């Protein structure tokens, strides 16, 4: 299914949900969102995971200076530019404002104020110390109350827990995709779709997995340039994946929000059984999110250690020394600032890194392609 | 001779503040090596806990070697020996300068010296690998750590809404292994204050461990009292003197004083008592000068609030505005609610009072969202009763600089004063554009 088809079917899905009286909550924030809480209340989460382009970025400039990350700019463009490319965004009733990064705050606020979407706030502490966990809990309870105020119905604990379990199972299935011997682009399509729909498409993903499991084709041999992809996510409709594969690259691990950071945030059965209060479970997930880029002061170091280990394990298993593409959306506070430190630290450990910084303009495509090709030749 | 004497006697406090800022390196060396004090870096005005612990807070640029104007050096060595009284020797030295312009010249030189150093450190930050897409402030600060970070014993970080700031703070461990964190909850809900109070206590324990000192309620309250007095003086300058129709000096020099206060307020030039004394002299001197009619009638000059400048700004701006007939006010710390006093009442818990101060500053001043931040701009502009507002849009700032469109709308609806935006990337880069913009802006008056 290509992206047009995906978006069309998503449009129908949301229309259907809306027709059934469901409320839709759109959000930019990349991590730590308690989607289960929304679903338990009968809301439909709408993650804004769509890539940008020149027109969309331009359309944001009456709200934000051009030195804002191009993803954030494009999110405004999706709501403000005409003709609308993603009409289903009009179906969103609410915007979740969260502080994953400050651009998330600003854009959510702009969308809420200028495009007439009610705003729900969900702030997350900047560390994961014990008080930060308590604070996370406060915010969860606050959000729960706000949602209950809208629906005029209490969300029973068991409903939240059911959703947590449902999402947990779903993520475990999605994780299996990461182990399939298929090209990175196909994995990415599945991850993007999984985040868009959530457990509603579990059966479909299970089917895909079983069909691929019988596939014995070795992707590694047809794409010898295996790489890990980290940094900012690849959003729907981005051409970047094509550039990487056209240059002979194959992504074996998406170490990004759309990818490992999504499917790896699961609980063991013991943990689920041991924590009765669903709010405690959601808090536990935040506590365990050691690689999430929202928090300081250790997430980067944790990531570096993880990547080094992954590269070494991979080397032991397949004999290949894989490189790392660090994708940086221009003006991203989280990944741009660190880029030279990140590269230096991994290179000291013998891992080759390409810092690939870009915006969503068409004009940059040729340059990206050249840089990716040069990197592929190097590894 | 009378003007001559007035010019030295008056504003000696400003000159002392300037000297103490620039001569930080020697002072800090003495503190570190002779007095065995711990040096702890701070940025933004969050030095209270460090002072209370008996360590020395340092805004890191002050570890640099600056070229100090010979007048300041002479004045300082003379005053070290004989206090601030004038001696024939000093007077004969001072006679070499154009006495009527001495304050203007020296302060101008000080601001340029600091800014040249800032640019140098900005370049060092870029050489170190900070992308030029980031704000001048963060890049310059990184340069400061590259240059002199090794002299520090620890660094104290406060989380704020600006994600670049938090991430930059995370990088500091490569220069200073010991990091103290105060995680400020993003907004004030339920018992957020209690959680922050606990985080502050944790930071205090870290400071105790580093310094080997006990931080008592008394030491905290003592520091808050000093801080409160400084804040009162600072507000007097902002609200009383800057609003006066008669200035104790040339308005461009007045702006330079405000710029110097803004910079030095971050670490009180590493000595809270000395800083308080200078501030108190400054207020006294300004008042005396105004009362005696020494200075300049500025009643026909519109008052322009230029903000934000703490992340970097074009220091020529106030000169340009002055030439265009306006006076410039710098009041970032007031806008960000960082000049609020901390309660030291008898039954208060000082740790909790400090947490209240932090929470108020981050939720109302810095703002947990753009609405709160722009409200704070409007409130301050109203309270200062300024005639116009120039918004300094710092390239690469995603937290404050991008609120201009919202702010402009609010100014139109609520204040109805002229406003404009100037862009800033690096000192000296954009002076012509700033001139043009400010020229057009001033035509509105
Ligand atoms: S890409 Fe970076 S700056 Fe942009 S919204 Fe995501 S984390 Fe924030
Ligand atoms: S608020 Fe803006 S100027 Fe200040 S540190 Fe953050 S990005 Fe830089």
- Residue B367 pLDDT greater than 70, yes or no: yes
**Kind of pairing, strands A118-122 and A43-47?**
unpaired
Atom of ligand 1 nearest to the CA of B398: 3
Nearest to A331 among B173, B371, B398 (CB): B398
Q: How much is the average pLDDT of A139-151? A: 98
Nearest to A131 among B163, B171, B183 (CB): B183
CA distance B361 to B395: 24
Q: Do A127 and B159 make contact, defined as CB atoms within 8 angstroms?
A: yes
Question: Measured in angstroms, how far is the CA atom of residue B378 from the centroid of ligand 2?
Answer: 19
pLDDT for res B213: 98
Q: Is A232 in the pocket of ligand 1 (CB under 6 A)?
A: yes
- Residue A220 pLDDT greater than 70, yes or no: no
CA distance A27 to A376: 35
**Of all residues in chain B, what percent carry a pLDDT higher than 70?**
93
- List CB contacts (< 8 A) between A62 and chain B: 405
List the alpha helices (DSSP H) in chain A.
3-19, 35-40, 54-58, 70-80, 102-114, 130-151, 157-178, 184-197, 202-213, 219-222, 240-246, 260-263, 269-274, 278-288, 299-318, 333-336, 339-348, 365-378
pLDDT for res B90: 63
| Helix axes B370-384 and A102-114, enclosed angle (nearest 10) | 80
pLDDT for res B103: 79
CA distance A94 to A97: 9
Query: Residue B3 — pLDDT band, cuts 50, 70, 90?
Result: very low
Q: Do A131 and B179 make contact, defined as CB atoms within 8 angstroms?
A: no
Mutate to test the interface with B, among A127, A296, A326, A329 (most CBs of B within 10 A): A296
Q: How far is CA A203 from CA A20, A208, A237, A261, A262, in A?
A: 22, 9, 24, 22, 18
- Residue A25 pLDDT greater than 80, yes or no: yes
Distance from CA of B367 to the nearest CA of A (A): 11
Place of tokens 């969103």: A92
Average per-residue pLDDT for chain A = 95
Q: Which ligand is nearest to the CA of B138?
A: 2
Per the CB < 8 A criterion, the answer to whether B152 and B39 are in contact is yes
pLDDT per position as a tens digit, A272-287: 999 999 999 999 999 9
CA distance B328 to B346: 40
Average per-residue pLDDT for chain B = 92
pLDDT per position as a tens digit, B175-206: 999 999 999 999 999 999 999 999 999 999 99
| Angle CA B232–B339–B21, to nearest 5 | 85
Neighbours of A92 (CB within 10 A): 23
Atom of ligand 1 nearest to the CA of A333: 3
Least confident residue range of A1-5, A320-324, B14-18, B374-378:
A1-5
Half-sphere exposure of B306 (CA within 13 A, CB side): 34
Per the CB < 8 A criterion, the answer to whether A99 and A105 are in contact is yes
Query: Residue B12 — pLDDT band, cuts 50, 70, 90?
Result: confident
**Of all residues in chain A, what percent carry a pLDDT higher than 90?**
93
Write out the DSSP string of B57-80: EE-GGGGS--PPPHHHHHHHHHHH
**Residue A364: DSSP 8-state:** G
Q: Do A296 and B159 make contact, defined as CB atoms within 8 angstroms?
A: yes
pLDDT for res B1: 32
Closest CA to B184 of B168, B165, B211, B160: B160
- Residue A70 pLDDT greater than 90, yes or no: yes
pLDDT for res A83: 83
- Residue A2 pLDDT greater than 80, yes or no: no
Locate the chain A residue with the closest alpha carbon to B178: A297
- Residue B4 pLDDT greater than 50, yes or no: no
Q: How much is the average pLDDT of A158-169? A: 98
Length of chain B: 445
Q: Is A235 in the pocket of ligand 1 (CB under 6 A)?
A: no
| Helix axes B2-9 and B102-127, enclosed angle (nearest 10) | 30
Q: Which two tokens stand for residue B92?
A: 């004969």
Distance from CA of B387 to the nearest CA of A (A): 25
Sorted by sequence, the CB contacts under 8 Å of residue B21 that are 6+ apart come out as B62, B110, B114, B260, B263, B264, B269
Q: What structural domains does chain A harbor?
A: 3-154 (3.40.50.11890), 221-378 (3.40.50.11900)
Distance from CA of A296 to the nearest CA of B (A): 6
**Kind of pairing, strands A118-122 and A249-255?**
unpaired
Asked if the peptide bond before residue A4 counts as cis, ω within 30 degrees of 0, the response is no
| Angle CA A122–A124–A130, to nearest 5 | 135
- List CB contacts (< 8 A) between B129 and chain A: 339-341, 344
Q: Which two tokens stand for residue A304?
A: 């570096």
pLDDT for res B106: 86
Query: What pairs with residue B158 in β-bridges?
Result: B182
Nearest to B133 among A127, A299, A331 (CB): A331
pLDDT per position as a tens digit, B69-111: 887 887 777 666 555 555 556 666 666 666 567 778 888 889 9
Q: How much is the average pLDDT of B336-353? A: 96
pLDDT per position as a tens digit, B28-78: 999 999 999 999 999 999 999 999 999 999 999 999 999 888 878 877 776
CA distance B419 to B386: 11
Q: Is A103 in the pocket of ligand 1 (CB under 6 A)?
A: yes
Question: 3-class SS at B214?
Answer: coil
**Of all residues in chain A, what percent carry a pLDDT higher than 70?**
97
Question: Measured in angstroms, how far is the CA atom of residue B359 from the centroid of ligand 2?
Answer: 18
Ligand 1 pocket test, pick from A77, A103, A105 with the greatest ligand atom count within 8 Å of Cβ, gives A103
Q: How much is the average pLDDT of B424-430? A: 95
Nearest to A337 among B131, B190, B191 (CB): B131
Sorted by sequence, the CB contacts under 8 Å of residue A244 that are 6+ apart come out as A184, A227, A229, A250, A251, A325, A372
Dihedral sign computed on CA atoms, order A173, A179, A182, A186: positive
- Residue A221 pLDDT greater than 80, yes or no: no
pLDDT for res B93: 66
Nearest to B189 among A102, A142, A296 (CB): A142
- List CB contacts (< 8 A) between A65 and chain B: 393, 401-402, 404
Neighbours of B215 (CB within 10 A): 21
Q: Is A105 in the pocket of ligand 1 (CB under 6 A)?
A: no
**Of all residues in chain B, what percent carry a pLDDT higher than 90?**
84
CA distance A233 to A230: 8
pLDDT for res B401: 87
Q: Which two tokens stand for residue A163?
A: 């959703």
Distance from CA of A336 to the nearest CA of B (A): 7
Locate the chain A residue with the closest alpha carbon to B201: A131
């Amino acid at each position: 299914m290509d992206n047009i088809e995906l978006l069309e079917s998503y449009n129908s899905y949301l229309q259907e949900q809306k027709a059934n009286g469901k409320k839709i909550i759109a959000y930019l924030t990349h991590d730590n969102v308690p989607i289960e809480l929304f679903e338990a209340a009968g809301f439909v989460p709408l993650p804004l995971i769509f890539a940008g382009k020149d027109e969309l970025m331009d359309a944001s400039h009456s709200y934000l200076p051009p030195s804002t990350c191009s993803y954030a700019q494009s999110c405004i463009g999706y709501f403000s530019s005409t003709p609308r490319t993603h009409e289903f965004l009009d179906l969103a009733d609410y915007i979740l404002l969260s502080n994953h990064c400050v651009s998330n705050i600003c854009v959510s606020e702009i969308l809420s104020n200028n495009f007439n979407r009610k705003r729900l706030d969900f702030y997350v502490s900047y560390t994961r110390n014990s008080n930060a966990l308590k604070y996370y809990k406060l915010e969860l309870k606050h959000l729960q109350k706000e949602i209950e105020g809208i629906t005029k119905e209490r969300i029973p604990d068991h409903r939240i827990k059911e959703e947590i379990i449902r999402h947990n199972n779903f993520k475990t299935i999605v994780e299996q995709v990461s182990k399939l011997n298929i090209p990175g682009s196909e994995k990415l399509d599945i991850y993007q779709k999984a985040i868009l729909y959530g457990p509603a498409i579990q059966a479909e993903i299970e089917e895909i997995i079983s069909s691929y499991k019988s596939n014995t084709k070795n992707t590694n041999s047809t794409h010898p340039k295996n790489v890990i992809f980290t940094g900012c996510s690849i959003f729907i409709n981005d051409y970047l994946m094509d550039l990487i594969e056209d240059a002979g690259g194959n992504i074996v691990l998406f170490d990004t929000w759309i990818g490992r950071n999504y499917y790896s945030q699961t609980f063991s059965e013991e943990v689920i059984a041991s924590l009765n209060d669903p709010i405690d479970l959601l808090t536990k997930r935040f506590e365990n999110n050691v690689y999430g880029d929202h928090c300081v002061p250790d997430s980067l170091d944790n990531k570096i250690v993880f990547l080094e280990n992954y590269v070494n394990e991979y080397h032991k298993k397949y004999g290949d020394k894989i490189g790392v593409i660090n994708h940086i959306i221009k003006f991203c506070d989280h990944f741009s600032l660190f880029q030279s430190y990140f590269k230096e630290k991994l290179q000291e450990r013998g891992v080759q890194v390409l810092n690939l910084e870009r915006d969503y303009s068409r004009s940059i495509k040729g340059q990206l392609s050249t840089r990716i090709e040069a990197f592929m030749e190097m590894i | 001779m009378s003007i001559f004497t007035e010019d030295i006697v008056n504003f000696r406090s400003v000159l002392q503040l300037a000297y103490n800022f620039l001569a930080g390196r020697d002072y800090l060396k003495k503190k570190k090596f002779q007095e065995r004090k711990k040096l702890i870096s701070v940025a933004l005005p969050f030095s209270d806990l460090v002072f209370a612990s008996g360590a020395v807070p340092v805004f890191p640029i002050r570890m640099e070697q600056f070229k100090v104007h010979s007048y300041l050096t002479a004045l300082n060595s003379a005053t070290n020996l004989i206090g601030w009284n004038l001696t024939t020797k000093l007077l004969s030295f001072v006679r070499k300068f154009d006495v009527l312009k001495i304050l203007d010249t020296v302060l101008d030189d000080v601001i340029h010296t600091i800014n040249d150093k800032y640019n140098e450190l900005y370049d060092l930050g870029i050489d170190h690998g900070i992308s030029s897409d980031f704000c001048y402030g963060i890049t310059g600060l990184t340069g400061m750590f590259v240059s002199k970070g090794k002299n520090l014993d620890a660094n104290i970080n406060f989380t704020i809404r600006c994600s670049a700031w938090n991430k930059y703070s995370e990088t500091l461990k490569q220069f200073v292994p010991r990091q103290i964190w105060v995680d400020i909850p993003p907004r004030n809900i339920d018992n957020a204050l209690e959680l922050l109070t606990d985080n502050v206590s944790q930071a205090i324990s870290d400071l105790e461990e580093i310094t080997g000192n006990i931080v008592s309620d008394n030491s905290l309250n003592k520091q808050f009292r000093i801080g409160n007095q400084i804040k009162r003086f600072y507000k007097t300058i902002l609200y009383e003197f800057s609003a006066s129709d008669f200035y104790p000096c040339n308005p461009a020099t007045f702006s330079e004083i405000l710029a110097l206060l803004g910079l030095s307020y971050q670490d009180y030039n590493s000595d809270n008592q000395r800083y308080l004394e200078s501030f108190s002299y400054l207020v006294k001197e300004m008042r005396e000068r105004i009362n005696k009619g020494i200075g300049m009638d500025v009643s026909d000059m519109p008052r322009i609030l230029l903000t934000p400048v703490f992340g970097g700004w074009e220091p020529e701006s106030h000169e340009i505005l002055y030439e265009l007939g306006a006076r410039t006010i710098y009041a970032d710390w007031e806008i960000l609610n960082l000049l609020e006093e901390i309660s030291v009442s008898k039954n208060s818990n000082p740790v909790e009072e400090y947490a209240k101060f932090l929470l108020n500053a981050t939720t109302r001043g810095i703002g947990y969202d753009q609405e709160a931040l722009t409200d704070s701009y409007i409130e301050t502009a109203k309270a200062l009763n300024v005639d116009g507002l120039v918004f300094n849009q710092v390239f690469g700032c995603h937290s404050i600089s991008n609120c201009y469109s919202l702010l402009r709308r609010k100014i139109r609806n609520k204040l109805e004063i002229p406003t404009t935006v100037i862009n800033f990337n690096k000192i000296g880069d954009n002076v012509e554009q700033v001139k043009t913009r400010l020229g057009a802006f001033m035509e509105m008056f």
